[in-house]
């Protein structure tokens, strides 16, 4: 089985983007800003997805959410690509500057679990949750008391979509083939046991 992560979410330390106007940052997914930046740079959902390491459908879904949140079309179809609206174009420079500042800040800041105050969304089946959560809760309480873990439902065969759409930060799932952008770590190995009556001819 594997421990998967799509990369750190931009949960904090995002001061502002002045051109965005009035928006509820408490509910806004700041990861969408990376998608907007990639679309402004690449002018294509395919190329933006390749740059970010996510699928075209995930980029399209993020663009729909951006349009709703910012109340603007943002991009219009132009030939084989996308052309930004005047509003989207006005966001390009302040957005890039803000993301550059964040990247510089995060690259020089070491993670200290003892003082960290974040919420991690962990997806997994009931089986994995029951097996691992008690120990995980004890470890977090002792070593990282400011970190909260939120369990989210894991839909079978939708692990990649959950990570692409930032519905989960990490997922507890069986070993399988995954895209290169997914970072995975083995947690443990387990075997299956079958119980049946003696002499069962079907096994």
Are both 99 and 116 inside the same structural domain? no
Q: What is the CATH number of the domain that holds 73?
A: 1.10.10.10
Give the pLDDT score at 27.
65
Please indicate, yes or no, if residue 50 is contained in any of the structural domains.
Answer: yes
Are both 95 and 135 inside the same structural domain? no
Please indicate, yes or no, if residue 148 is contained in any of the structural domains.
Answer: yes
pLDDT in tens, 125-135: 777 777 788 88
Is the pLDDT at 11 greater than 60? The verdict is: no
Q: Which of 55, 85, 107 delimits the end of a domain?
A: 107
Q: What is the rounded CA–CA span in Å between residue 74 and residue 77?
A: 10
Are both 121 and 176 inside the same structural domain? yes
- The string of DSSP letters for 166-178 reads TS-SEEEE-----
Are both 101 and 123 inside the same structural domain? no
Q: What percent of the chain has pLDDT over 90?
A: 14
Give the pLDDT score at 50.
85
Average pLDDT of 26-30?
71
Domain enclosing residue 176, as ranges: 2-6+112-186
Residue predicted with more confidence, 64 or 153: 64
Q: What is the rounded CA–CA span in Å between residue 135 and residue 138?
A: 5
Are both 129 and 154 inside the same structural domain? yes
3-class SS of residue 56: helix
pLDDT in tens, 51-89: 888 888 889 999 999 998 888 999 999 888 899 999 999
Please indicate, yes or no, if residue 195 is contained in any of the structural domains.
Answer: no
pTM score, two decimals? 0.47
Residue predicted with more confidence, 59 or 110: 59
Q: Which of 107, 128, 157 delimits the end of a domain?
A: 107
Please indicate, yes or no, if residue 191 is contained in any of the structural domains.
Answer: no
Please indicate, yes or no, if residue 17 is contained in any of the structural domains.
Answer: no
Please indicate, yes or no, if residue 14 is contained in any of the structural domains.
Answer: no
Are both 142 and 84 inside the same structural domain? no
């Amino acid at each position: 089985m594997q421990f998967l992560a799509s990369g750190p979410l931009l949960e904090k330390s995002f001061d502002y983007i002045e051109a965005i106007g009035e928006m509820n940052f408490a509910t806004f997914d700041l990861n969408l800003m990376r998608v907007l930046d990639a679309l402004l740079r690449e002018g294509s959902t395919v190329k933006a997805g390749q740059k970010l390491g996510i699928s075209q459908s995930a980029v399209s879904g993020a663009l729909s959410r951006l349009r709703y949140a910012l109340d603007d079309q943002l991009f219009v179809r132009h030939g084989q690509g996308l052309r930004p609206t005047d509003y989207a174009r006005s966001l390009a420079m302040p957005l890039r500057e803000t993301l550059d500042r964040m990247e510089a800040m995060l690259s020089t800041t070491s993670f200290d679990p003892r003082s960290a105050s974040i919420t991690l969304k962990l997806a997994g089946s009931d089986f994995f949750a029951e097996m691992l959560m008690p120990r995980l809760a004890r470890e977090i309480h002792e070593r990282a008391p400011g970190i909260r873990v939120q369990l989210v439902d894991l839909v079978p065969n939708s692990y990649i979509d959950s990570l692409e759409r930032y519905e989960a930060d990490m997922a507890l799932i069986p070993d399988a083939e995954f895209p290169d952008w997914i970072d995975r770590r083995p947690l443990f190995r387990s075997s299956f046991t079958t119980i049946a009556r003696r002499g069962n001819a079907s096994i």
